Structures are given as structure tokens and as C-alpha cells.
Amino acid sequence: MSFAEFKKDLDGNNIKNICILWGKELFLIEWAVSEIIKKYSNEQSKIFDVVEFAGESEDYYRIAEACETLPVISEKKLVIINNFEAMKDKDVTGRAGVLLNYLKHPSDSTMLVLACGEKISRSNELYSAAAACSSEYEFGRLTGGELKAWIRKRMRINGRKIGERELARFVDESGYFDKDSDYTLFHFENDIGKIIVHSDSEIITMEDVEIAVSGNLSKNIFDMINALGEKDRKTAFHVLNEMLLYGEPVKTVLSMLYWQYEGIMNVKQLLNEGKNKKDIARILKAKDFVVGKWMSAGRKYEESSLRDILRSIYETDVRIKNGEMNERIAIELLVGTINNN
């Protein structure tokens, strides 16, 4: 079940006594835990009836004991295990195995919340034991509508309003919906903070948005690709140096460069086959705005040049991994040779 289903179940008091939270959006997992605490406890009862554990560093015998202890004030006792990694792998290892018996026979007076990481294994023995009597929520990427509503709410909390045009630009430039994007709600939260600091009024401007996303990896990679397509090597090296200065790993830059150039080449080939933008987005399973960027960038490159670039990126990656060349020198040499004809 998803973010929307969690909200529905929470509002309807339909969350079962074992609650499994997992998924890519760790921000939402933290939010879900806080919402459960707010729903089932208050400030007076929290000290008695809410027990939080850190995860793998904890004594699972103590956790099992806490689950069996009756609540003092509240209707239910809350036992929360944060960063619970024991469901990630198929085999149950370490001390977490002591929870097996409890998961098979949970207490009616306790809600056990397992705040896991990005992945769980459904063949895991702990998961199997809990499955029959648990509510499970996967917090993946939000939908477009959910994300916009979430951003508007964060803006409103901070006394700001953002228009549809500015909001769309913010979402598009973030790269949140890109296939291999690692941009999450934590990044949005950080960038919203930048916007708030930069804005001089209640209404967010396009300039405020541009300032916030200027350090976004996807945007920077595209800026570099466009500069190289125009043979503007000075700008390309400036963007590269900014990314490395702010701590982007060379391997990440190489990976993103390969993915974007591969997308540009695929779009160019499909256009030559007579496909339109909508068809291309469907075939490549990419967002329309990403396909639009690839189409625009593709006008600056010949198909043969794109093949050479992809081969050069691959060879650069191999040289770095084999220890044949310093990674900083390798990527600078690569950028210096792209589209250099």
C-alpha cells in the first residue's frame, strides 16, 4: 500500500497492530512514524506508552519485552523500531530472530511499528511471520499530484505561495521523476529552504526557483551537455568544476552523463524512424519533459558523435576502475574531447 492508503488507514483507525513501513522515500517513513505517534498518544502519555528503539544496535529481547508490556494511559502501547534492517535479506540473522515468536502472536494492546529502509525481502522469515496480521506501506516516489500538494503545503507552512508555472519548473528541474534519479523529498525539503531564504515576499518567483535548483545534478549535467553541444568548453568545465567542488562523485557524474547521452541518442534514432514525442516517451518510459530535453540537445549532436561519446564515457570509467588514471584527470580529459571535431 502507498502514501495515500496510509493516510486513509490512519484517518480511519485501520492500521493493524504490526505496521511495516519501507520504501525509497525515507522522509515519508519518518513522517509516518511521527503521524502514528500523534494519532495514538499525547504529550502526557508519550513518556509511558511510546518506546522507540534505534534498530540493529538494540537488544531485541528488550524490544520483545516492551511489546508484551501493557500501556499505562493510552489505549495502545507504541513500540517503534527505527532503521529496522532485519527484513532486508532473505535470512534472519543476529538477535532479531527473537522477535519471531512475538510477530506470530502479537499483543492486542501494542502496536509494533517496523520502520525499515528502502528494501525488504518478502521471503524473509520475520516478514512471513508478520504478514498475516500486519499493515504494510511502501513509500515510493509520490505521484505528480501528491508531490505538488506536498510542496504547496511546505510552502504554506513557511508563509509562502507558489504559482503553477513556478511549481512545474521546480518539479521538472529537480529531476525527481527521472528514471535513475536519486533526488528525494529530503532534497526537496532542502531546496524549499533555499527558496524561502532567497525569497523577499510571500509569492515565490521564478528567480527564487532557479536559485534553489542551480545545484541539482540532473540540471548541471544537462547544462554541461548543452554547452558541449555548442562547443562552449569554458562553460562545460565551469559546470564540471562546480559539481566536483560541491562533492559530486566522479562515478556519479560519469553515470549520469552516460544515461543522458544514451537517452539523447535513443531519441534521435526514434525521431529518424518517424516517432513523435508522445510515442518516444512511451517507448523509453520517460517523462515528456525529459524527452523534450533530449530532443533539444540532440539537435546539437550527430548520431555518430553520440556513439563516440558513449564509448569514451565507458572507456573512461574502465580506466578509473582499473586504476590506470586519476579520476579527476580522467573526467577532465573526457570533457575536453566530447564533440571536439
Kindly state the average pLDDT of the residues 269-286: 89
| pLDDT computed for residue 12 by the predictor | 93
Task: Residue 39: give its domain's CATH number.
Answer: 3.40.50.300
Distance CA 253, CA 251 (A): 5
- Asked whether the predicted pLDDT for residue 288 surpasses 80, the reply is no
**Same domain as 331, residue 290:** yes
Same domain membership, residue 119 and residue 11? yes
Q: Judge whether residue 167 has pLDDT over 70.
A: yes
Nearest by Cα to 63 from 25, 28, 101? 101
Query: Do 195 and 300 belong to one domain?
Result: no
Task: Indicate which CATH number applies to the domain containing 264.
Answer: 1.20.272.10
- Which DSSP helix (H) or strand (E) runs through 22? strand 18-22
Domain that holds residue 185: 144-213
How far is the C-alpha of 333 from the C-alpha of 289, rounded, in Å?
31
CB-based burial label for 240 (10 Å; 0-12, 13-18, 19+) = buried
Residue that terminates a domain, selected from 96, 119, 138: 138
pLDDT at position 96 is 65
Regarding whether 108 and 16 lie in a shared domain, the answer is yes
What HEC string does 33-88 produce?
HHHHHHHHCCHHHHHHHEEEECCCCCCHHHHHHHHHCCCCCCCCEEEEEEEECCCC
- Please compute Rg for the chain using Cα positions: 24
The per-residue pLDDT for range 89-139, each reduced to its tens digit, is: 776 655 666 788 888 888 999 999 999 988 888 888 888 888 878 999 999
State the DSSP string of 2-21. -HHHHHHHHHTT---SEEEE
Confidence at residue 179, expressed as pLDDT on a 0 to 100 scale: 67
Report whether pLDDT(287) > 80: no
Whether residue 151 is found in the same domain as residue 261 = no
What pLDDT is attached to residue 97? 67
CATH number reported for the structural domain that contains residue 198 in this entry? 1.10.8
- Same-domain pairing of 128 and 226: no
Count the domains in the chain: 3
User: Do both 185 and 89 map to the same domain?
Assistant: no
Residues 328 and 245 in one domain: yes
Q: How far, in Å, CA of 301 to CA of 292, rounded?
A: 15
Residue-wise pLDDT for 22-61, tens only, equals 999 999 999 999 999 999 888 788 888 999 988 766 677 8
The pLDDT of residue 109 is: 92
Angle between helix axes 233-245 and 217-229 (nearest 10 degrees) is 160
Residues 187 and 224 reside in one and the same domain = no
Residue 93: what pLDDT?
57
- Tell me which of 185, 213, 241 is where a domain ends: 213
What value does the mean pLDDT take over residues 153-161?
94
Burial class, 87, CB count within 10 angstroms (exposed 0-12 / middle 13-18 / buried 19+): buried
Claim to verify: residue 7 and residue 114 sit in the same structural domain:
yes
pLDDT value of position 214: 62
Supply the mean pLDDT for the chain: 88
Mean pLDDT for the stretch of residues 10-26? 93
Instruction: Give the span between the Cα atoms of 267 and 280, in whole angstroms.
Output: 7
Tell me, yes or no, whether 9 and 131 share the same domain. Answer: yes
pLDDT band for position 314 (cuts 50, 70, 90): very high
- Across 202-206, average pLDDT: 92
Same-domain check for residues 189 and 97: no
* Helix, strand, or coil (residue 317): helix
| Boundary of a domain, candidates 108, 138, 168 | 138
Give me the DSSP letters along 194-248. Answer: HHHHH--SSEEPHHHHHHHHTT-HHHHHHHHHHHHHTT-HHHHHHHHHHHHHTT-
The residue-averaged pLDDT of 234-254 equals 87
pLDDT at 161: 95
Mean pLDDT for 167-190 is 83
pLDDT of residue 230: 92
